[in-house]
Amino acid sequence: NLLNRWSEQDHVKLQRNLVHPMTFSALLRYIYTGYIDYALDSDILNNMLFAAKHLEFHHLHSLLLEQKSTNDALRSHSKEEITRLRHDFEKFYINMITVAMQAEPQQERTWIMIEPWAAESLQCSPKSIFADIAIKLHDNIIFPCHKAYLCRVEFFNTMLSGPFGEQDAKLVTLVYPDQTNMILPLIELHDVDADIFGYYVLQFIYTDKCNIPAEDAYDVLLVADMLLIDRLKAMAAIVITNQKEPIIDIYELIQTAIELQVERLEQYCIKYFARHLDNFIHQPQFLDLIKQSAASIKKREETDSIPFVDDLRYFLTKEHFIAEEDLNESGRVNSEYQDTWTELETLYNQKLEMLDQALSSLGLEA
């Protein structure tokens, strides 16, 4: 209907005597969530059956025909329906990114869409995705999108609904190779790579999931932080910390973790330092981390602990399988039992000695 008899209409009128408002509300709920409220009044359910047939909701119509089954109340929450809904969102996302294109400005407020951004060929008419806003990245790649989805993200919600929101977005005409035109408000997004935005940010926004390969996880982390998408940021951090080796320079990685307040990532880096302490202990960047951690504590006394050093010591005990009850007040394996130390216990004390020497060289105690 939207692509055919209603294609040129801004408003569609459904007669109240044919489709009850409560019926239409229930239809919208089904469209967006896949949920059918079988507890509605029987007249409304019957009207839904009529509306579903009239509006060509074929799957919904078949479900309503079977509503007298004893399991009707559970069907709306069934795994099958949830899977179907997710599949629909994923299919919609894939269709949507195929209409994103590299563009060139032709004249004021007109952009010529030159070539597809995605490797996938155009799978649908640009108008069939019913975009109501376009996002332009710094390299002139334009993504037609949907405000209802974007507003799930605080960054876009503020951008589109705040006092300096959508009114600042100018209406532009997007002209596709097949001469299809779309007139949409255009907003610009700076310092975001198109691949990161299209394949990961939009995938997450539209499907609530995201498959992030290790090689892109760091860039996804940065963009997710910039756009205030905490869950995507956490997902990227999980991918990074599941790698045996850091995917970028360890010093850059821990500084990012500190600046973005990603504790999981910071702990991953400190654990890596502890595992390879011999390689790092004399490096100026490593000593700078100790000083940075010490400086982060306001009004620090000389004998106060240093968070970075405390965490290093903790991971050293884990690396060398040291039980807490075997440690003395200074955190070492008790020298009283030195004759019975294992090789790991000996190594552990040696590592602590190296760490204490590094602290002394900086004029610090912890």
Ordered mean pLDDT values, 10 residues apiece, the chain (366 residues): 61 79 90 82 89 86 73 56 84 92 92 88 80 93 95 91 66 92 93 96 95 97 97 98 98 98 98 96 96 80 78 89 68 65 78 90 84
The predicted pLDDT at position 82 comes to 77
Other residues' Cβ atoms within 10 Å of the Cβ of residue 22: 15
Residue after which a domain boundary falls, among 51, 69, 87: 69
In a domain, residue 193? The reply is: yes
In a domain, residue 294? The reply is: yes
In this structure, are 292 and 316 located in the same domain?
yes
In a domain, residue 90? The reply is: no
Other residues' Cβ atoms within 10 Å of the Cβ of residue 294: 21
In sequence order, the 6+-apart residues with CB closer than 8 A to the CB of 230 are: 224
In this structure, are 105 and 162 located in the same domain?
yes
- As given in the structure block, the two tokens for residue 6 are 């209603």
Count structural domains, the chain. 4
Give this prediction's pTM. Answer: 0.84
In this structure, are 244 and 296 located in the same domain?
no
In this structure, are 107 and 201 located in the same domain?
yes
Q: Round to whole Å and give the CA distance between 153 and 135.
A: 14
Backbone φ and ψ for 16, nearest 5 degrees, come out as: -60, -35
Residue after which a domain boundary falls, among 239, 256, 278: 278
Residue after which a domain boundary falls, among 250, 278, 306: 278
The predicted pLDDT at position 312 comes to 95
In this structure, are 290 and 269 located in the same domain?
no
The predicted pLDDT at position 81 comes to 74
In this structure, are 291 and 353 located in the same domain?
yes
In a domain, residue 225? The reply is: yes
In this structure, are 227 and 202 located in the same domain?
no
In this structure, are 240 and 269 located in the same domain?
yes
Domain limits at 145? 95-207
